Structure 1
Amino acid sequence: MEATPLTQGGLFLIQFIAGLVIFTLMLRFLMRATHVDWRHPVVHFVAKVTNPLCAPVNKVLTIRGRWDWSAIITAMLLQALVVIALGWLTGRNFGVGLIAISSITEVANQLLDMAFWLIIINVIISWISPGYNPNTAIFVQMTQPILAPFQKLVPPIGGFDLSPIIAILAIKLTQIVVVGGIAQYGQMLVTLG
C-alpha cells in the first residue's frame, strides 16, 4: 500500500496521541513508584487524566504498595492497539509476537527516557535554583529514588555528586543493550514473517 498524505497524517496523529497518553501513564507509574507528594497539582492532574484509562485494569489487578502495574499494562495495551492501527493503515499484518515485543520495547523506552530527562532536569534545577523550591520539588522527589542506588555505588567526590552521570550511563546502556536487543529480535520476526 502506497503512503498517501492522508495515511501519513493518520499515522502521525495516532503516534502523537498514543505517545502523549503513554507518556502520561509512565509519569503516573513513576510518580507512584517514587512516592511523590500526592498534594502536588501535577500529581492530581495526572491521576485525573489516567484514572479512567487504568480503571479496567485496576478491577483485575489492584494497586498494592508503590508499583502501579495498571499504568504499565494499560500503556502496553494501548501500544498494541497503535501497532495494529499502524499495520492496518500501511496494509501490513503484524503477528502477535511482534505486537507484544513492540509494546514492551516502546513502553520500556518511554520509561527509561523519562528517567533520563528527569535526571537532566533535576541536575539543571540544582545548578540554577539550589535549595528547596516547592515548584520544582517534584523533580527531586522523582529522581532521588532513581539516583539512590547510584549514590551508594559512587559517593560524592570533593563535594560533587557524580551519581547522575552513572545513572544516565546505566539508563542509556539498558536502552541500547536490553531494549535494543529485544527490538532487534522483533525486527527479525518481521523479516522472517
Structure 2
Amino acid sequence: MSPVGQGGLFLIQFLAGLVIFTLLLRFFMRATYVDWRHPIVTFIAKVTNPLCAPLNTILPKPHRWDWSAILTAMLVQALLVILIGFLTDRSFGVGLIVISSVTEVMNQLLDMMFWLIIIQVILSWVSQGYNPNTAIFDQMAQPILSPFQRLIPPMGGLDLSPIVAIIAIKLTQIVVVGSIAQLGQNMLL
C-alpha cells in the first residue's frame, strides 16, 4: 500500500475509533448514572444521539443499559473492518467481522475502565474536596471499584481496591477477549 493509502487508512481508523470511543463513553456514563447535567455528559449525549436514534426506535427505551450505543459501536467497527478489507484487497467473512467487532468494542470498554481507575486514583491524590470537573471521574469509577472495595477493605487508610480492579480488568482482556480474538485469528488461516 502506498504512503498516501496508509495515511488515509490511519485517518479512517482514527475517526472510527473516536466515534466508537464516544459511543462507549455514552454507554458507560448511562450505566454508572453520571449526572446528566454535567457539560461533558450533555455534549456526549448530543453528539451520539443522531448515531443511536435509529436503534433506539427498535430497542426498548434505554434506562441504565444503553444497548443502542453498544450496537452502534459494533456496527461502526464492522464497517471499519469491511472498509479495511476493501482498501487492502482482502475479503473477510461474516464470522470474522462479528468477532472483530465484539473484541474491539470489549477491548475499548475495558481500556476505558482501566484509564478511569487510573485517572480517579491520581485525582484523589491531587484534588482534595469536591470539584464538579473531577467529580465525573469519581462517578464513573466508583461502580467499578465498589465490588473490589467490599472484598478488600482499606488497610491503614490505603485503598488497594484499584490495584485489584486493574488486575481483574487486564486479566479479562488477556483471557476472555484474547480467547475470542484468537478464534477470529483461526478463521483467517
TM-score, length basis structure 2: 0.98
Q: Offset at 1:63?
A: 2.8
Number of the residue aligned with 1:172: 170
Please name the residue that 2:9 is paired with: 11
Q: Give me the whole-angstrom Cα distance separating, in 1, the residues matched to 2:65 and 2:154.
A: 29
Structure 1 residue 134, shift from structure 2 partner = 1.1
Q: CA deviation at 1:130?
A: 2.3
**Identity fraction in percent:** 74
| Residue number among 71, 87, 106 corresponding to 1:108 in the alignment | 106
2:137 paired with 1:139? yes
Deviation, 1:64, is 3.6
> How big is the shift at 1:62?
2.3
1:35-184 equivalent positions in 2, closer than 5 A: 35-184=33-182
Distance 1:62 1:131 in 2: 39
Q: Residues 37-58 of structure 1, C-alpha deviation per residue, up to 9 Å, x if partnerless?
A: 0100000000000000000010
For the residues of structure 1 that align with 2:62 and 2:144, how far apart are their CA atoms? 20
Shift of residue 70 of structure 1? Answer: 0.4
**What is the one-letter code of the residue matched to 2:12?**
I
Task: Work out the CA distance in 1 between the residues paired with 2:86 and 2:114.
Answer: 33
Total equivalences in the alignment: 189
Q: Distance in 1 between matches of 2:98 and 2:62?
A: 25
Q: TM-score, normalised by structure 1?
A: 0.96
Letter in 2 for 1:189: M
Q: Tell me, what secondary structure is at the counterpart of 1:142?
A: helix
In the alignment, the residues of structure 1 paired with residue 123 and residue 60 of structure 2 have an alpha-carbon distance, to the nearest angstrom, of 36
Tell me how far 1:6 sits from its aligned partner: 2.2
Query: Matched residue of 1:130: which SS?
Result: coil
- Once the two structures are TM-superposed, the CA of residue 138 in structure 1 deviates from its matched residue by 0.2
Alignment RMSD, CA only? 0.7
1-side partners of 2:188 and 2:141: how far apart?
37
Unaligned runs of 5+ in 2: none
Residue identity in the other structure for 2:158? F
Structure 1 unpaired stretches of 5+: none
SS in 2 for 1:94: coil
Runs of 4+ deviating beyond 4 Å: none
Distance (Å, rounded) in 2 between the aligned partners of 1:102 and 1:12 = 18
> How many angstroms does 1:7 deviate by?
1.7
